[in-house]
């Protein structure tokens, strides 16, 4: 059988099977689909452009013109965000059989609330920019940090997503932070709580779990994991959700490259330093220094082969 014949006779059967499988596992009429995912990416770009207009405009504008540009971007983002938010809220309600909910009102109120809080988010992001500038001797200008540092891109998206997460909006915050993960290699769950003046140097491979707490003036290097030590199981053997699983990091902590800190009851005290490649599953008091012991020096002997 050649390809053309196979497509004529077998392809409808395969397509039908795939359709039935998806109909069984998903409520197709209520999911946002790939187009919705792409729309969320566009919304993020509009919001980021409103937060940092001088970095997105091709030519300098006076303040009045900048204000108009910001307003137009926010207007476009808000219309799209409220529509997608309404769909995911309806989908969640159907999945949970929670009864009548005013999806449209919740979506509109949350969108307006986010826009009201954007100036506050921008101020917090400025502290992250300052932390990057003061924490990296290679940084020459703040514009360099905004345009090229992966941590600022990831944190901008995270801080928007975290606001929506705190409002109980499903799916959208996770899509947002996963877009940052794809772009930067920095994986921050939108549920994590992160204070001001946060800096991730280099960034690639950093993982911050959903229930992690990070104080102010904390610095992480590449490859750091703030993860779960274990997953308590319910009576059916499934991981129990919505419990504390990830560590807490107090103020003024530095965690060097490759360190792994695990556990919901693990607390890193303020002004501590965690060395590179450390594996830590217990708490340490403030002003601690934790590092891997260096191996004893070995004597290298030259061997002469016959």
Lowest mean pLDDT among 9-13, 53-57, 97-101: 97-101
CB atoms within 10 A of CB 251: 17
pLDDT tens for each residue of 193-218: 999 999 999 999 999 999 999 999 99
Q: Would you place residue 284 in the very low, low, confident or very high pLDDT band (cuts 50, 70, 90)?
A: very high
pTM, to two decimals: 0.88
The residue count for the chain: 306
**Domains (range + CATH), the chain:** 23-186 (1.10.3130.10), 205-306 (2.160.10.10)
Tens-place pLDDT, residues 23-37? 777 655 556 776 789
Distances (CA, A) of 13 to 2, 19, 21: 17, 10, 12
Share of the chain above pLDDT 70, in %: 91
234-238, 280-284, 298-302 — which one is most confidently predicted on average? 280-284
SS3 label, residue 249 = strand
Predicted pLDDT at 270 = 98
- Give first-to-last CA distance, the chain, whole Å: 66
Q: Is the pLDDT score of 64 beyond 90?
A: no
Q: What is the DSSP string of 250-301?
A: -SS-EE-TT-EEE-TT-EE-TT-EE-TT-EE-S-B-TT-EE-PPPPPPPPP-
What secondary structure does DSSP assign to 71-127, as a single string? HHHHHHHHHHHHHHHHHHHHHHHHHHT-----HHHHHHHHHHHHHHHHHHHHHHHHH
Mean pLDDT rounded to a whole number for the chain: 90
pLDDT at 114 over 70: yes
Whole-number pLDDT of residue 304: 45
pLDDT at 58: 67
What pLDDT, in 10s, does the model give residues 154-197?
A: 999 999 999 999 999 999 999 999 999 999 999 999 999 999 99
């Amino acid at each position: 059988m050649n390809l053309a014949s196979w497509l004529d006779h077998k392809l409808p059967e395969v397509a039908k099977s795939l359709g039935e499988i998806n109909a069984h596992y998903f409520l197709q009429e209520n999911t946002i689909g790939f187009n919705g995912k792409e729309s969320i990416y566009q919304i993020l770009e509009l919001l980021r452009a409103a937060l940092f207009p001088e970095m997105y405009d091709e030519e300098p504008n006076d303040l009045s013109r900048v204000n108009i540009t910001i307003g137009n971007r926010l207007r476009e983002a808000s219309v799209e965000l409220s529509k997608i938010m309404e769909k995911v809220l309806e989908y969640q309600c159907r999945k949970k059989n929670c009864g009548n909910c005013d999806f449209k009102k919740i979506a509109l109120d949350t969108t307006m609330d986010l826009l009201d809080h954007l100036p506050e988010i921008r101020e917090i992001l400025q502290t992250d920019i300052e932390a990057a500038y003061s924490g990296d001797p290679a940084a020459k200008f703040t514009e360099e940090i905004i345009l090229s540092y992966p941590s600022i891109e990831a944190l901008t998206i995270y801080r928007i997503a975290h606001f929506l997460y705190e409002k109980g909006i499903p799916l959208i915050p996770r899509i947002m932070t996963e877009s940052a993960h794809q772009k930067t290699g920095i994986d921050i769950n939108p549920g994590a709580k992160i204070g001001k003046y946060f800096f991730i140097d280099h960034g690639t491979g950093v993982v911050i779990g959903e229930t992690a707490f990070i104080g102010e003036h904390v610095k992480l290097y590449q490859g750091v994991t703030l993860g779960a030590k274990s997953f308590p199981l319910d009576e059916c053997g499934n991981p129990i959700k919505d419990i504390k699983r990830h560590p807490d990091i107090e103020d003024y902590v530095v965690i060097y490259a490759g360190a792994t800190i695990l556990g919901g009851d693990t607390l890193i005290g303020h002004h501590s330093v965690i060395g590179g490649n450390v594996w830590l599953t217990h708490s340490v008091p403030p002003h601690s220094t934790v590092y891997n012991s260096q191996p004893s020096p070995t004597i290298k002997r030259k061997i002469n082969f016959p």
